[in-house]
Amino acid sequence: MTTALLTGKYAVITGAASKRGLGLATARLFAQHGATVAILDLDGAAAKEAAATLGEGHVGLTCNVTDQNSVKAAFDGLIAQWGRIDVLVNNAGITQPLKIMDIAPGNYDAVLDVNLRGTLYCSQAVIPQMRAQKSGAIVNMSSVSAQRGGGIFGGPHYSAAKAGVLGLTKAMARELAPDNVRANAICPGFIATDITAGKLTDDMRVTINAGIPMGRPGTAEEVAGCALFLASDIASYVTGSEVDVNGGSLIH
């Protein structure tokens, strides 16, 4: 392996217990690069199990990102244990494939809360510590859905939530920059994960691949690579950016 990019760093990744999700792929790569990682997930047992697969010293915690008290407890506990948090990856998210007229109040609340409110709460929980230590990197997961107005699985409320993540990221970046705390967003295109695995017909697959200049879906590891860059000191002058990881499907 080349030089480890996160040696001695402490990183928190939300919604990272899914075995083939973006969060766990990111956690794995961060651990390989020397970070001590905390996996936060609604399913605490799965979070602990996922953390154990990374090796010694990594942590799995129960956390509901939509509940400010749950978030505060998780982050306060980690800061007490570690003394600092260097990286936050706001990965927790849900999607629903609904049309505009089918979005009921409960659908709106669920999708906006996990994707957008959760990103805000987790960021608020870590910002005072990052400001105090005069360093930190926040990486937020947005989506190509925010940029092109819908995707393959996400409804309009998902597009709205992920577009909200972009606005929040840029505003945070502007406000936190004087304290050397960076905030950036990743916009994955079509990525082969558990969420997408069972839902594609062969025809859909051909159509999707035809719209991607690279001719294939991305992998969770390819999104993780971008998160590693943004989290590390080699991106020390990158803040307020949105990085497309989509095989060229949104060249504009």
- Is residue 10 annotated as part of the catalytic site, yes or no? no
245's tokens: 């990881």
Of 10, 108, 121, 158, which one is the catalytic site residue?
158
Q: How many angstroms separate the CA atoms of 43 and 15, rounded?
A: 9
Total number of residues shown for the chain: 252
Q: How many angstroms separate the CA atoms of 75 and 12, rounded?
A: 9
Q: How many angstroms separate the CA atoms of 233 and 215, rounded?
A: 32
Residue 208 corresponds to which amino acid?
I
Distances (CA, A) of 22 to 80, 86, 109, 125, 244: 27, 19, 23, 22, 15
DSSP state for residue 62 in the 8-state scheme: E
Query: Hey, which residues are catalytic here?
Result: 158
